[in-house]
Structure 1
């Protein structure tokens, strides 16, 4: 089995190494909205009972309307990580069962397929995905560089995968802030497409462990069977049903404000922004390792990358006070 992937959000380990209480750190290591949406009222029965089918059905109808998936009712899942680990089951082992992943990207895709015994080719462009591949993974927009592929390009890739009886998986975990990038509106006519959507990142509620899968009915039924009964909690389904019906324009505005605040700090101190999405920013700097350690010593955690030692990923700050804290600490870095 391959080694575990190091992800953002490890503030407890950082505090153990550099001191302080985890709750007192400024955690900028994730791509999660730092200003969570207000929780709607959750009926007592959602806590008291196992999640009844009407809760699942309501969440699916609401997700269909929110994502614009037409006749497809997105399947609620306990975080998209749960279905990433199921993807190898959609393939048959044997000659020709190669997987292509546009990289660098979220490392759990490669880990899931390698652990299941599949050959994985990492490519830097969708054009490098060939007829020998039976499944292709594209994260759009990508984590960590924010690279975004046009809808038309991904539809063309889908058609190439379909021609060889392959499957295209598009991870839109960071897609809520820019719905124009989403393939969800085309999904019902793309028979070899699986889309994953994250709920917790945009709404700032990652602790719910909730996502949605958009795919042909036969694939959704397999995911549902493999996940087993009551995979998503009643409170999570209830919250999703409420928030996906709400007006999210204020959430988008606040995310854009927080992104502008973060960019002002970083560019004001001469750091080079080389990519990102609405929920995180990628910096490229030869001193990245030293900057990372300096920030940790002042109880600010960002994301570093073993495969790209000059990169640092900064998540959004929650408010202007955090902007000032980050700016003051970076200003004290010995250049």
Structure 2
């Protein structure tokens, strides 16, 4: 079958899947995204003052809390209404030509007016402006420290690192290396690790000369009062963050074991999702969708299928049963 553009473009297209596949009254199991199925639990308990505009001091507090979480200096951190917006605005601010490591997140190829894909093996020696994700989406590859050292040494262009999935393992991050003198910009997402994608909150970590025009474009109120309050509290909840990191790696190992029992070799170092390579990826996507389980296919990589974490033993068992059905 030919998958509809809705679920080829991004994860989370459950309503489009319902319209296409039906499924009756069965609840859908959405494994199409890399969003943590376990939301940070404090969001519903925070009182939001919807009557007032966000205060400058509250925004600064959010950015300071995020900076401490990232290991970056607060004056290098700028809140944006989702990392997607940050990526696109920085591309416009920097301008010029760029390359993006492929395969990767689709927006990386749309940030600059002139951009071209480059293979991961060529990125280490490439000196021009380069966009890459770490961990990478969709294959979960993590770029090692030595490679980043090589890419930053004697750099002629910018190195733009999308760390949307880096919260699971802080050792993968280079946010702490952002300086005013370094050609390095890092992007972070709040919603993926904290399971609150609807908050629409992200961050650009960049040299001050880059953040100045970015803040000018964003204006006085770049994010909502709810994003400020929820984000600041969540980033300060160190106990939850550490416990969740351990939990996610454990659940990813259980998903790996289950997929392995069905003959698949899952790959990826990000515990929020796993990618498999199989001859019948589209047939498998179709079969799972008809069982009301949505996964993530790729129009340009028809052997690939990505699975998000099921989030519970019951959901894992449901996926297990659907994969066993012949």
- TM-score, length-scaled by structure 1: 0.89
Alignment map for 1:56-67 (pairs within 5 Å): 56-67=59-70
**What is the rounded CA distance, in whole Å, between the counterparts of 1:274 and 1:54 in structure 2?**
43
Name the residue aligned to 1:103.
Answer: 102
Name the residue aligned to 2:71.
Answer: 68
Contact 2:99 2:116 in 1 (8 A): yes
Match of 1:85 among 63, 85, 88: 88
C-alpha spacing 1:297/1:228, structure 2 compared with 1 (3 Å): same
Name the residue aligned to 1:192.
Answer: 183
**What is the rounded CA distance, in whole Å, between the counterparts of 1:63 and 1:320 in structure 2?**
32
Match of 2:151 among 157, 160, 165: 157
Contact 1:80 1:196 in 2 (8 A): yes
Match of 1:174 among 160, 165, 188: 165
C-alpha spacing 1:235/1:71, structure 2 compared with 1 (3 Å): closer
Matched, 1:217 2:208: yes
**What is the rounded CA distance, in whole Å, between the counterparts of 2:33 and 2:24 in structure 1?**
18
Match of 1:238 among 209, 229, 241: 229
C-alpha spacing 1:241/1:272, structure 2 compared with 1 (3 Å): same
Structure 1: runs of 5 or more not aligned: none
C-alpha spacing 1:216/1:181, structure 2 compared with 1 (3 Å): same
Q: What count of residue pairs does the alignment treat as equivalent? A: 318
Which range moves more in the overlay, 220-229 or 276-285?
220-229
Which range moves more in the overlay, 6-15 or 122-131?
122-131
Contact 1:71 1:188 in 2 (8 A): no
C-alpha spacing 1:265/1:125, structure 2 compared with 1 (3 Å): same
Match of 1:37 among 32, 40, 62: 40
Per-residue CA deviations over 1:88-121 (Å, capped at 9, x if unaligned) read 32334xxxx43111110001111232xx3x1424
User: Secondary structure of the equivalent of 2:110?
Assistant: helix
Q: CA deviation at 1:129?
A: 5.2
Match of 2:295 among 266, 289, 302: 302
C-alpha spacing 1:22/1:144, structure 2 compared with 1 (3 Å): farther
Match of 1:313 among 306, 314, 317: 306
Name the residue aligned to 1:125.
Answer: 121
Name the residue aligned to 1:270.
Answer: 263
Contact 2:76 2:211 in 1 (8 A): no
**What is the rounded CA distance, in whole Å, between the counterparts of 2:126 and 2:179 in structure 1?**
24
**What is the rounded CA distance, in whole Å, between the counterparts of 1:322 and 1:169 in structure 2?**
36
Contact 2:65 2:235 in 1 (8 A): yes
**What is the rounded CA distance, in whole Å, between the counterparts of 1:218 and 1:102 in structure 2?**
25
User: Secondary structure of the equivalent of 2:305?
Assistant: strand
Contact 2:189 2:203 in 1 (8 A): yes
Q: CA deviation at 1:12?
A: 0.7
